Chain A
Amino acid sequence: MAEPTTEERTAPAAPNHQPGLRALGRWAWGALTSMRTALILLFLLAIAAIPGSLVPQRPVTPIQVNDFIADNPTLGPIYDRLGFFDVYSSPWFSAIYLLLLVSLIGCIVPRIGVYAKALRRQPPAAPARLNRLPVSATVTLNDPSALSAIADELRRRRFRVATTDTTVSAERGYLRELGNLVFHLSLTLILVGVAVGSLWGYKGNAIVVEGYGFANNLSQYDDITAGARFSETDLKPFAITVNSFHAEFETGPVQHGAARVFTADVTVTDHPGAEPRNEALEVNHPVTVGSTQVHLSAHGYAPVVEVRDGEGNVAFSGPVVFLPQDGMFTSLGVIKAPDARPDRLAFEGFFLPFATVDDQGPRSIFPDAIAPELFLNVWHGPPKEVESGTPENVYTLDTTGLEQVSRDGDALRLRLKPGTEVVLPDDLGTVAFIGWHRWVKLQVSEQPGVPVIVAGVAIAIVGLLLSLFIRPRRIWARLTPTGEAGDGHTLSVGGLDRADARLGLVEEVQALVDLFPDAQDAAAPGRARPAERDRLVAEDAIMDDDGQPSASDAGKDN
Chain B
Amino acid sequence: MELSNLSTQAMTTAWVVYLIAMIAHTLEWAVARNLSTKVERKRRRVLVGAGAGAGADLPTTTEETPVETTEDPRLSRFSTVGLVLTGLAFAFHLVGVVTRGIAADRFPWANMYEFITSTLLFVVAAYLVGAARFGMRWAGLFVTLLATVGIGLAVTVFYVDVAPLVPALHSVWFIIHIVTAAIAAAAFNLGAVATILYLVRDRAERKGTVRGYLAKLPSAERLDVIAYRFHAFSFPLWTFTIAAGAVWAQFAWGRFWGWDPKETWSLITWVAYAAYLHARATAGWRGRKAAVIALIGVATFWFNYIGVNMLIPGLHSYAGI
Contact A528 B258 (CB under 8 A): no
- Bound: A520/B43 CA distance, A: 26
- Bound: A47/B132 CA distance, A: 40
Closest to A555 in B: B55
> Could you give 27 example pairs across A and B, Cβ below 8 Å?
A38-B278, A39-B279, A39-B285, A42-B272, A42-B275, A53-B264, A53-B265, A59-B259, A60-B258, A134-B46, A137-B48, A254-B160, A453-B256, A468-B232, A500-B225, A521-B49, A521-B50, A534-B283, A534-B287, A535-B224, A537-B225, A539-B59, A543-B134, A544-B135, A547-B64, A551-B55, A558-B54
Residues of B with C-beta under 8 A to A35: 278, 281-282
Question: Is A54 engaged at the interface, CB distance under 8 Å to the other chain?
Answer: yes
Residue-by-residue, is A30-65 near B (CB-CB < 8 Å gives 1, otherwise 0)?
Answer: 000001101100110110011011100101100000
- Also in contact, A545 and B216, with CB within 8 A (given A137-B50, A286-B251, A510-B54): yes
Contact B254 A53 (CB under 8 A): no
Question: Is A71 engaged at the interface, CB distance under 8 Å to the other chain?
Answer: no
- Bound: A293/B253 CA distance, A: 11
- Also in contact, A538 and B170, with CB within 8 A (given A6-B282, A60-B259, A514-B50): no
- Also in contact, A203 and B138, with CB within 8 A (given A46-B272, A258-B166, A538-B45): no
Residue-by-residue, is A415-450 near B (CB-CB < 8 Å gives 1, otherwise 0)?
Answer: 000000000000000000000000000010101001
Residues of A with C-beta under 8 A to B260: 60
Partner of A549, one of B58, B163, B246, B320: B58
Query: 8 additional contacts, CB 8 Å, given A42-B271, A258-B166?
Result: A258-B163, A260-B167, A457-B243, A500-B225, A537-B221, A539-B46, A543-B134, A545-B135
Residues of A with C-beta under 8 A to B48: 135-137, 493, 506, 509-510, 513
Give the residues from 139 to 175 in chain B that come closer than 8 angstroms, CB to CB, to chain A. 160-164, 166-168, 170-171
Question: Is B240 engaged at the interface, CB distance under 8 Å to the other chain?
Answer: yes
Minimal beta-carbon separation of B198 from chain A (angstroms): 12
Contact B232 A501 (CB under 8 A): yes
Residues of A with C-beta under 8 A to B3: none
- Bound: A505/B59 CA distance, A: 11
Question: Is A114 engaged at the interface, CB distance under 8 Å to the other chain?
Answer: no
- Also in contact, A53 and B312, with CB within 8 A (given A134-B45, A500-B228, A514-B54): yes
Partner of B225, one of A134, A250, A501, A554: A501
Contact A521 B222 (CB under 8 A): no
Contact B170 A461 (CB under 8 A): no
Minimal beta-carbon separation of A138 from chain B (angstroms): 8
Closest to B236 in A: A464
Contact B54 A511 (CB under 8 A): yes
- Also in contact, A203 and B58, with CB within 8 A (given A513-B48, A539-B46): no
- Also in contact, A250 and B282, with CB within 8 A (given A134-B46, A295-B254): no
Chain A interface extent, by class: 35 or more
- Bound: A213/B142 CA distance, A: 60
Contact B55 A254 (CB under 8 A): no
Residues of B with C-beta under 8 A to A549: 58-60
- Bound: A493/B49 CA distance, A: 12
Residue-by-residue, is B267-291 near A (CB-CB < 8 Å gives 1, otherwise 0)?
Answer: 1100110110011111111110000
Residues of A with C-beta under 8 A to B46: 134-135, 506, 538-540
Contact B221 A259 (CB under 8 A): no
Residue from A139, A520, A521 whose CB has the most chain B CB atoms within 10 Å = A521
Question: Is A393 engaged at the interface, CB distance under 8 Å to the other chain?
Answer: no
Minimal beta-carbon separation of A57 from chain B (angstroms): 6
Question: Is A527 engaged at the interface, CB distance under 8 Å to the other chain?
Answer: yes
Contact B264 A49 (CB under 8 A): yes
Partner of B286, one of A253, A295, A509, A534: A534
Residues of B with C-beta under 8 A to A537: 221, 225
- Bound: A240/B240 CA distance, A: 35
Contact B236 A53 (CB under 8 A): no
- Bound: A253/B116 CA distance, A: 23
- Also in contact, A57 and B236, with CB within 8 A (given A36-B282, A295-B253, A536-B43): no
Contact B300 A46 (CB under 8 A): yes
Closest to A258 in B: B166
> Which of the segments A115-123, A164-172, A268-276, A277-285 contacts the partner chain?
A277-285
Closest to A545 in B: B135
Contact B312 A54 (CB under 8 A): yes
Question: Is B87 engaged at the interface, CB distance under 8 Å to the other chain?
Answer: no
Contact A10 B252 (CB under 8 A): no
Contact B216 A546 (CB under 8 A): yes
Contact A7 B283 (CB under 8 A): yes
Residues of B with C-beta under 8 A to A195: none
Minimal beta-carbon separation of A224 from chain B (angstroms): 13
Residue-by-residue, is B227-256 near A (CB-CB < 8 Å gives 1, otherwise 0)?
Answer: 011001001100110010010001111111
Residues of A with C-beta under 8 A to B216: 545-546
Minimal beta-carbon separation of A336 from chain B (angstroms): 31
Closest to B297 in A: A46
Contact B243 A461 (CB under 8 A): yes
- Chain A contacts to B: CB under 8 angstroms: 6-7, 10, 35-36, 38-39, 42-43, 45-46, 49-50, 52-54, 57, 59-60, 87-88, 134-137, 139, 203, 250, 252-255, 258-262, 282-286, 293, 295, 297, 443, 445, 447, 450, 453, 457, 460-461, 464-465, 468-469, 493, 500-501, 506, 509-511, 513-514, 516, 518-521, 524, 527-530, 534-551, 554-555, 558
- Bound: A49/B279 CA distance, A: 20
Contact A461 B166 (CB under 8 A): no
Minimal beta-carbon separation of B204 from chain A (angstroms): 13
Contact A10 B134 (CB under 8 A): no
Contact B300 A6 (CB under 8 A): no
- Bound: A261/B236 CA distance, A: 35
- Bound: A557/B68 CA distance, A: 35
Minimal beta-carbon separation of A324 from chain B (angstroms): 15
Residue from B136, B161, B268, B300 whose CB has the most chain A CB atoms within 10 Å = B268
Contact A43 B275 (CB under 8 A): yes
- Bound: A509/B57 CA distance, A: 13
- Bound: A49/B320 CA distance, A: 24
Partner of A554, one of B45, B58, B61, B243: B58
- Bound: A104/B161 CA distance, A: 48
Question: Is B189 engaged at the interface, CB distance under 8 Å to the other chain?
Answer: no
Minimal beta-carbon separation of B263 from chain A (angstroms): 9
Contact B235 A464 (CB under 8 A): yes
- Bound: A85/B164 CA distance, A: 35
- Bound: A540/B54 CA distance, A: 15
Minimal beta-carbon separation of B108 from chain A (angstroms): 14
Minimal beta-carbon separation of B275 from chain A (angstroms): 4
Contact A49 B135 (CB under 8 A): no
Residues of B with C-beta under 8 A to A529: 43
- Bound: A558/B232 CA distance, A: 25
Contact B58 A283 (CB under 8 A): no
- Bound: A510/B47 CA distance, A: 9
- Bound: A87/B261 CA distance, A: 12
Residue from B167, B243, B261, B280 whose CB has the most chain A CB atoms within 10 Å = B167
Partner of A530, one of B43, B134, B229: B43
Contact B61 A539 (CB under 8 A): yes
Contact B163 A283 (CB under 8 A): no
Minimal beta-carbon separation of A505 from chain B (angstroms): 9
Contact A536 B44 (CB under 8 A): yes
Residues of A with C-beta under 8 A to B164: 250, 260
- Bound: A189/B321 CA distance, A: 37
Residues of A with C-beta under 8 A to B239: 457, 460-461, 464
Closest to A530 in B: B43
Contact A284 B134 (CB under 8 A): no
